[in-house]
Each structure stands twice: as C-alpha cells, then as structure tokens.
Amino acid sequence: MSQTIAFPNSLKLHLQRAANQRNYPVIKEILQRGSGEELVVNSLEEAQALVNVARLQMLDASLQYPFWDEDSPKYDRSHESAFQDVQMGIFEKTVLYVGQAFKIVSTV
C-alpha cells in the first residue's frame, strides 16, 4: 500500500541528517524516494519509523533544553526557543504530514 505524501524538502533534509548521524538504514532508504517535496511510503511500519525519528528528536530536545517550560523555576527563554523549534518544526510537522496518510502513534 504505497502512499505518496506531500512533505517539505526542509523537513526531509532534517530527518536525513538524523538518519545519517544515527545510521538508520530504513529511514535513509525511505527519504530517498519521491521528489524533493514528497515522500513515497510503502507501509504503516515505514510511516511509523519516520514518526519515531521525529519522536526521538523531541526526546533529545527535552534532554538538551530542560528549562524550556515557563513553569520551571530555571526557565530559560533560549531553551524554550530551541525546544519549540524541534517540537513545532520537526515533530508536529512530521506527524501532520505522515498522519494524513497513515494511522500512526505520535505520543512521546
């Protein structure tokens, strides 16, 4: 059940960097399919794998920028900005685009 998904090239490049740094062969393969602004995803498992990379990015950001929450006594605006870049710029967009075609798990 192959699906072609509209997917911004900037987001694809970010996921490619993560896949190359961590050596995720399945993700590398998926991200090579389709044109610059689309992905061809062959299964729910592949769709979930893409979202899992974004989930890992979120978890990593929460460890790198622990003082992102305004309710934290150690709140740091730079942490909030960096964390939000990952949350809204990578995680939520990946879930949005992939989730339109596949029923994926997106909880972190």
Where in the chain are the domains? 3-99
In DSSP terms, which residues pair with 38 in a beta bridge? 6
Q: Is 31 exposed, middle or buried (0-12, 13-18, 19+ CB in 10 A)?
A: buried
Q: Single out the residue of 52, 41, 63 nearest to residue 15, CA to CA.
A: 52
User: What is the per-residue pLDDT across 6-42, written as a single tens digit (0 to 9) for each?
Assistant: 999 999 999 999 999 999 999 999 999 988 899 999 9
User: What is the per-residue pLDDT across 47-77, written as a single tens digit (0 to 9) for each?
Assistant: 999 999 999 999 999 999 999 999 989 999 9
pTM summary value: 0.90
Proportion of the chain above pLDDT 70, given as a percent: 99
